[in-house]
Structure 1
Amino acid sequence: MTAADLSVLQPELNPQTHKRFLNVGCGSAGPERLPECFQQDDWQQIRLDINPAVKPDIIADLTDLSAVQTGSIDAVYSSHNIEHLYLHETTVALQEMHRVIRPGGFLLITLPDLQQVAKLIAQGKLSEEIYRSPVGPITPLDMLYGHQASVERGNTYMAHKCGFDKHSLSTALLNAGFHEVRVTADAHYNLWGYAQKG
């Protein structure tokens, strides 16, 4: 979908009641997997992914969101995708997310917490199932390098090329131009970052 194509979504919105969020790297997950804040009726989701097989609204790489107009999105949601980029590409991707968010809008981002993963590896649990996800069992090896069973089946989009801990994610978000940044770890080996555009 091009920027011109994206504009056709706008007339359907009542600016008094609807906000738009861009779900980058949306994958095939349904709306029930979204954070509760984005499941409210006043939010409209625009799905973006590099993989055409998941039928996104916009097919694009995270490092090139040129199909989305500057300052046209109220929020960006990024769930488990920037770790699929090389580290130098994450800088560009986060800057692109910052660019498309309107002033006062925000980014909500989640990804594996490498500090927690490293603790599991140090305990000798590299190949142990830690939890079960919709794609199957997940091990610390999967959290570190990407879901190995998916990669084996040819879905190389699932490979991980970098990673973050709380400090490095906070720094990356600030360097991308966000002003208010909060990063926390949850009990399920994930980081959650909230970053507001000033």
Structure 2
Amino acid sequence: MTNKVLNVGGNSKAIPLPPQYAGFEHILLDIDPSGNPDVVCDARQLDTLTADQYDAIYCSHNLEHYYAHDVPKVLAGFRHVLKDSGFVHIRVPDVDALMRTVLAKNLDLTDTLYQSPAGPITALDVLYGYGKKIAESGEDFFAHKTGFTPKSLLHALRQHGFPWVFTQTGNLEIQAVAFTHEPSDAAKQLFKLQVMA
């Protein structure tokens, strides 16, 4: 039986998943039907889907698009659709690292942090969402409504049903892999991440 990964807010299957998901069946969930997702759904409504059907949930740069009061509902939805042996893999901007970088380099919020395939990315883009995309689309969903530090993401995951959390930071990003039950050695090796104390 093939493992299934639910890619939450992945926009399009043309955007590749990380190599850890090689061999997984890729199920795309997005609120925007234009990317041809398998499931058109807001992540706050995951509890309306069939329970216990996914081995993994990959949520890359999507959780920060929800207000802080909606994050528990999204995480509860992740638990609802996730098998007991499964895990969530969350990637979000690291606001702590962003502020340290801005201060260390004496940058203004509108100064360029780095060049991306989409163009120059400013500190404001990392904090509030890619301004050019928001302006062009007129969609405020693309705006960031919640910021995370490694500590706040750890707290949110543990408080909402994921006691086993592995994290990694770098490139102004936090990656967390979280489990509802103690992970197997194979799962730990898959990501080579450290448990946060």
Unaligned runs of at least 5 residues, structure 2: 182-197
Normalising to structure 2: TM-score of the pair? Answer: 0.85
| Aligned-pair identity (%) | 34
Residue 98 of structure 1 deviates from its aligned partner by 1.5
- Are residue 94 (structure 1) and residue 78 (structure 2) matched? no
Partners in 1 of 2:162 and 2:152 — Cα distance? Answer: 14
Normalising to structure 1: TM-score of the pair? Answer: 0.85
- Are residue 165 (structure 1) and residue 176 (structure 2) matched? no
Aligned to 1:75: 56
Aligned to 2:187: none
Instruction: Note the alpha carbon deviations across 1:12-49, whole angstroms, 9 max, x for none.
Output: xxx1xx100100011136243x11101x12x0010001
Aligned to 2:90: 109
Residue 196 of structure 1 deviates from its aligned partner by 1.0
Q: Please give the root-mean-square deviation of Cα atoms over the aligned residues, in Å.
A: 1.4
| Counterpart AA for 1:144 | L
Instruction: Note the alpha carbon deviations across 1:141-172, whole angstroms, 9 max, x for none.
Output: 10000000011112322101011100110010
SS at match of 1:65: helix
Please tell me whether the aligned partners of residues 13 and 28 of structure 2 are also in contact (alpha carbons under 8 angstroms).
no
SS at match of 2:112: coil
- Are residue 134 (structure 1) and residue 117 (structure 2) matched? yes
* Count of residue pairs the alignment pairs up: 178
Aligned to 2:128: 145
Please tell me whether the aligned partners of residues 12 and 28 of structure 2 are also in contact (alpha carbons under 8 angstroms).
no
Partners in 1 of 2:121 and 2:14 — Cα distance? Answer: 20
| Counterpart AA for 1:138 | I
Please tell me whether the aligned partners of residues 102 and 197 of structure 1 are also in contact (alpha carbons under 8 angstroms).
no
Aligned to 1:46: 27
SS at match of 1:64: helix
Partners in 1 of 2:65 and 2:15 — Cα distance? Answer: 22
Unaligned runs of at least 5 residues, structure 1: 1-14
Indicate the larger mover: 131-140 or 44-53. Answer: 131-140
Residue 69 of structure 1 deviates from its aligned partner by 1.4
- Are residue 121 (structure 1) and residue 105 (structure 2) matched? no
| Counterpart AA for 1:175 | Q
Tell me: CA distance 1:67–1:46, structure 2 relative to 1, closer, same or farther (3 Å): farther
Aligned to 1:6: none
Please tell me whether the aligned partners of residues 22 and 46 of structure 1 are also in contact (alpha carbons under 8 angstroms).
yes
Aligned to 1:189: 172
SS at match of 1:177: coil
Please tell me whether the aligned partners of residues 47 and 80 of structure 2 are also in contact (alpha carbons under 8 angstroms).
no
* Structure 1 residue corresponding to 2:38, chosen from 57, 60, 63: 57
Residue 124 of structure 1 deviates from its aligned partner by 2.2
- Are residue 156 (structure 1) and residue 140 (structure 2) matched? yes
